[in-house]
A and B are shown apart, each in its own frame.
Chain A
Amino acid sequence: GGTTRSDVAAQRSAAPAASTAPAAADPNAPIKPGLKIAFLPKQVNNPYFTIANRDGVAAAKEFGGEGKEVGPSEASASSQVSYINTLIQQKQDAIVISANDPNAVVPALKQAMAAGIKVVSYDSDTAQDGRNVFVNQASAEDLGRTQVQLLAGQLGHKGKIAVLSATPNATNQNTWIEFMKDELTKPEYKDMELVKVAYGNDDDQKSFTETQGLLRSYPDLAGIISPTTVGIAAAARYLSDSDFKGKVKLTGLGTPNQLRAFVKDGTIEGFELWNPGDLGYLAGWAAAALASGQITGAEGERFKAGRLGEYTVGAGGEVLLGKPTVFDAQNIDDFDF
């Protein structure tokens, strides 16, 4: 006897989610005045989220609402849940969240939605039933593939490469890495080989040591992709004053300010990122559109996002910010974030 995984799966499929037919969207509804929108990042005081949420709060001001950033100082799902509860008590109109654990926050977010609060996920999605809309910085597929393309271009499609990720459990990174692996199966990469995925745990010291480890254990390593801002900065710093500078190519996701010095000294040829400010800004508008009834999260609905123009809700309630920007020596000085 007992409940096993297949039992649960059977139950789930037997009883399809009694999706309460969403109230029809009214694309022409005006943005309600005085909307209270809370931004709940993975972690406060993280520069990336600070930029994103600053623009998110600015967006709220533009449409006459009230935005604020709250959240834990350690990136854990359980403390995010405490904050979600608080936001429910405070009767916010919308929560914009980047989930530390896509599943653990869902029960709490469901409660929030039951209390009439709209939920937008951004940066790092929750499970689909935990939010109304996901504002995606760039499609995971795009990100995964373009990073490989970027590195392949620098390497001439040849050589061993490694990935320096965040923690083994980082959802975003893991999805991207899957797409990287898939991209590498294409014939044009037949001379490239992904030898190892290392984890720097988003810790400077660990990322440093892991970079060294990669270079020592694979002396013929040609390139590293680090799809995390902490990792790429640490790896760049290590490479910049080692013998490998310029020889081992490095790319990944990072902010221009962080990496400016390394692009200029030749450690990095190019890397990419979306504009985090735009991400927060768009998420803010999406939250307002939801809370005002302009959209419900169904595919095909459209809403206006201030200076960024008009966006369309895609499949699975996803709103795509756009393509990431590639930064290199030519354009890096045009950006400040």
Chain B
Amino acid sequence: MTVFAGRIARVRELGIVVALVVLFGVTGAVNPAFLSPAGLRDILLNSAIIATLAVGQTLVVVTRNVDLSVSSVVGISAFGGALILADHPQVPIPVVIAGCVLLGAACGAVNGLLVGVAKVPALVATLGTLYAFRGVDHAWAGGRQVNAADMPPGFLRLGSADVLGVPLPALVALTVLLAVGWVLRNLPQGRELYAIGSSPEAAVLAGIPVKRRVVSAFVAGGALAGLAGVMWAARFGTVDATVATGKELDVIAAVVVGGVAIFGGSGTVYGAALGALLLSGITSALAVLRVDALAQTAVNGALILAAIMLDRLLALRVARSLRKRRRDAR
């Protein structure tokens, strides 16, 4: 019977794996360069930041919340980090990275307190902080731009260096993914996040410290957004106050495409990361396939829809076969 639950869990990600295989297969067949080592490296690099963000977002979304402010947190962290690197080159890089993560965590804490303690619905609270954090970022930057030449080359190298042939940002994202995935699956604290998302009232009755868990989910999500900000600065090398504007919808799309229920309670970070991979894969594929530039956005949207529909249809099929067998499976 555990097979059952296991099967459902696997099927939830199956849809998107199928979509990924199709995407890579078709694109690779048309243009083998897409699947060359360098091509794959590009895709990993492209998806690293969004994947990191999607993992953080998943933490929040499973608790039946959402963090729209991620893009602003990435922006503020990227700018903050770049500014310190440019103006205070004596500060060691690891300290800067830690600082950015902390800055992100602090933003996450603001969201977490608003949502967990002050009981502002997450969509409202983080739509508010989406504006507010960006406002702070703009005020801080005041039109300034930090350029590649202003930042230490050692830092910029982090954005593209390879370890064993795999780009460093992708490794970071993978590490984050595995760590968070492990916590969510194996630790009671992780399970409790799912419980909160599945039924907040029942979670209170079960004696789960709901506030604390929700706040920590936001803080962790914020910290990952801070990390993503550093990755952004290292990778693009040009940072101003508009960094990552509008990326919040991409992140949420990745999470949703990855099969994480937007109303909480189910879904995995692996799915979300696959979703991120799929979405950046689509963008890359469209660029590689010589799809008419004007049609790209439309095709992108259509593919997102196709992916969620595929996922849904597979889930429905499973549900149907499950009902047929329910009598014996009760």
Are A and B direct contacts in the complex by CB distance below 8 Å? Answer: yes
Which of A45, A50, A197 is most buried by chain B, counting CB atoms within 10 A of its CB?
A45
Does B287 lie within 8 Å of A237, measured CB to CB?
no
**A217 within 8 A of partner (CB):** yes
| Stretch with Cβ within 8 A of B (4 or more), from A19-27, A89-97, A201-209, A292-300 | A201-209
**B288 within 8 A of partner (CB):** yes
Does A217 lie within 8 Å of B289, measured CB to CB?
yes
Does B286 lie within 8 Å of A47, measured CB to CB?
no
Chain B residues with Cβ below 8 Å from A78 are: none
State A143–B245 Cα separation when bound (angstroms): 29
Chain A residues with Cβ below 8 Å from B287 are: 198, 209-210, 212-214, 216-217
**B189 within 8 A of partner (CB):** no
Interface string of A55-75 (1 = CB under 8 A from B): 000000000000000000110
User: Which B residue's beta carbon lies closest to that of A51?
Assistant: B143
State A196–B286 Cα separation when bound (angstroms): 13
Chain A residues with Cβ below 8 Å from B148 are: 233, 236-237, 258, 260-262
From known contacts A45-B240, A209-B46, A209-B283, infer whether A216 and B34 are also in contact, taking CB-CB under 8 Å. Answer: yes
Minimal beta-carbon separation of B75 from chain A (angstroms): 11
State A305–B263 Cα separation when bound (angstroms): 61
List residues of B (213-259) whose CB comes within 8 Å of A's CBs: 232, 235-238, 240-243, 245-247
State A288–B287 Cα separation when bound (angstroms): 47
Chain B binding surface SS class = helix
List residues of A (179-232) whose CB comes within 8 Å of B's CBs: 196-199, 203-206, 208-210, 212-214, 216-217, 219, 230
Chain A binding surface SS class = helix
List residues of A (159-187) whose CB comes within 8 Å of B's CBs: 168
Chain B residues with Cβ below 8 Å from A213 are: 284, 286-288
The 8 Å CB contact of B242, one of A46, A50, A241, A262, is: A46
Does A217 lie within 8 Å of B236, measured CB to CB?
no
Interface string of A256-269 (1 = CB under 8 A from B): 01111110100000
User: Which A residue's beta carbon lies closest to that of B27?
Assistant: A216
Interface size on A, residues (CB 8 A): 42
User: Which B residue's beta carbon lies closest to that of A232?
Assistant: B238
List residues of A (234-290) whose CB comes within 8 Å of B's CBs: 234, 236-237, 241-243, 257-262, 264
Does B293 lie within 8 Å of A257, measured CB to CB?
no
State A243–B42 Cα separation when bound (angstroms): 12
Chain A residues with Cβ below 8 Å from B245 are: 74
Minimal beta-carbon separation of B272 from chain A (angstroms): 18
Interface string of A139-171 (1 = CB under 8 A from B): 000000000000000000000000000001000
User: Which B residue's beta carbon lies closest to that of A267?
Assistant: B148
State A50–B65 Cα separation when bound (angstroms): 38
Does A198 lie within 8 Å of B293, measured CB to CB?
yes
State A271–B252 Cα separation when bound (angstroms): 38
Chain B residues with Cβ below 8 Å from A262 are: 148
Across chains A and B, which 3 residue pairs bring their CB atoms closest together, nearest first?
A213-B287, A50-B143, A47-B145
What would 7 A/B residue contacts be, using CB atoms closer than 8 Å? A45-B143, A73-B242, A210-B287, A216-B31, A242-B38, A257-B150, A264-B149
